[in-house]
Amino acid sequence: GTKKKARCPGLGLFYTILSAFLFSVASLLLKKIEDIHSVEVSAFRCVFQMAFVLPGLIYYKTGFLGPKGKRIFLFFRGFLGSIAMVLLYYAYQVMPLADATVITFTSPVFTSLLAWIFLKEKYSLWDLLFTLFAVTGVILIARPPFLFGSRVTGIEGSYSDHLKGTTAAIASTLSSASTFIILRKVGKSVHFFLSIWYYAVIGLVGCVIALFVLNEWRLPHCGRDRVFLISIGLLGLGGQVFLTKALQIEKAGPVSIMRTMDVVFAFILQALFLNHPPAWSTVGGALCVVASSCGTAIRKWRHSVKKAKQRQI
C-alpha cells in the first residue's frame, strides 16, 4: 500500500498567521483608498469571492440554491455576513485600524452568548467573565467622554466619527457572531462553498442597491486606488483560503488563539504605514479583548477534547 504523507507540524498555525497577515494588509490598503465608499469596496470583494467559489460549486455539483429546508438559513447567513462586511469596512475607514480590529475579536464571546440564547448551549460563569472582559476592552477603545473626560486623545478625526466607527464595528461583530450561529444550526448538511456563494451573491446585490440609493457609485480616480481595490479582493480571498486550510488540518482552539496575531499585525502596520501609534487605552482594550478571546477558545477546545475522549471510552 501507499504510505501516508506525514503532516508538517505547525503547518495549520502557519496558515493561520499568514491568513491574519493577509487580512491585516487588506485592512491597511482600505485605509489608504481615497473617496471610495465602504459599500463599493465590499461589492468588489463580493465579485472576487463569486469568481473563486463558482468553479467549486460546479466541481462539487452542489447546485446554486442548496437544500430546500436550508435555503432560509443560507439567505440570512448571506444577509448578515454581507452586513458585517460593509460595517467593518466602514469602521476601518473612520477609526484607527488597531481599534476596529480589536473590537472584531470580541466575536467569539458574543457567539457564545448568542449560542446560549438561541441554541441552548451551556453558558458558564467563565463565559460571563470573558464577556465582561470583552465589554471592558470595547469601553477602553470607545473612550466615552463621561469616563475619559471631554478631551479624548488617540483617535482619527472627530470623536463623533470615532463613535460611529465603534458602533459599526460592534454591529459588525454581532452580525458576524449571528452567522456563526446560523452555520452551527445548518451543520455539515450544506457545503462550505455554497455558504460563501450566498454570502457573495446577496452581498453584491445588496451593495449595488445601496450604492444607487446613496448615489455613491464611482470609479477610482487614479490607478493606485484601482490597484488597491483589486489587491483588497485578492488579499481577502487569500486570507479566507488559508484560514479554511488551517481549520482543515488543525484543531479550532489553537487556530482561534493564533488568529489574535491579526491584532498584533494591525498595531504594527498602523504605526509603520499610517504614522498613528496606538493610544494606551487601545493597548489596554486589546489586552482585555485578546484575553477574553483566548480564554473562550481554550475553554471550547478543552471541552471538545474532553467530549472526544468520552466518545472513545
Q: Answer whether residue 217 shows pLDDT above 80.
A: no
The pTM assigned to this predicted structure is 0.82
What is the average pLDDT across 27-39?
A: 84
Closest by Cα among 141, 146, 147 to 168: 141
The CA distances from residue 248 to 84, 215, 261, 301, in Å, are 24, 42, 19, 15
Q: Answer whether residue 4 shows pLDDT above 50.
A: no
Question: How high is the pLDDT of residue 313?
Answer: 66
d(CA 195, CA 200): 9
Neighbour tally for 10: CB within 10 Å: 13
At 149, is the pLDDT very low, low, confident or very high (cuts 50, 70, 90)?
low
Helix orientation angle between 97-104 and 280-312, rounded to the nearest 10 degrees: 30
The CA distances from residue 238 to 17, 31, 53, 62, in Å, are 12, 19, 13, 23
Q: List % helix, strand, coil for the chain (3-state, nearest 5).
A: 80, 0, 20
The per-residue pLDDT of the chain, averaged, comes to 82
Side-chain-facing half-sphere of 208: CA atoms under 13 Å: 9
Task: List the single range of 4-13, 71-80, 154-163, 166-175 with lowest mean pLDDT.
Answer: 4-13
The conformation of residue 158, written as its DSSP 8-state character, comes to -
Q: Answer whether residue 140 shows pLDDT above 50.
A: yes
261, 20 in Cβ contact below 8 A?
Answer: yes
Question: How high is the pLDDT of residue 191?
Answer: 78
Place of cell 452581498: 203
Summarised one tens digit per residue, pLDDT across range 34-62 is: 778 888 888 888 888 888 888 888 888 88
At 204, is the pLDDT very low, low, confident or very high (cuts 50, 70, 90)?
very high
Q: Answer whether residue 130 shows pLDDT above 50.
A: yes
What is the average pLDDT across 124-145?
A: 86
What is the average pLDDT across 220-240?
A: 82
Place of cell 440554491: 65
Instruction: List phi, psi (to 5°) of 46.
Output: -65, -40
Domain boundaries, the chain: 29-311
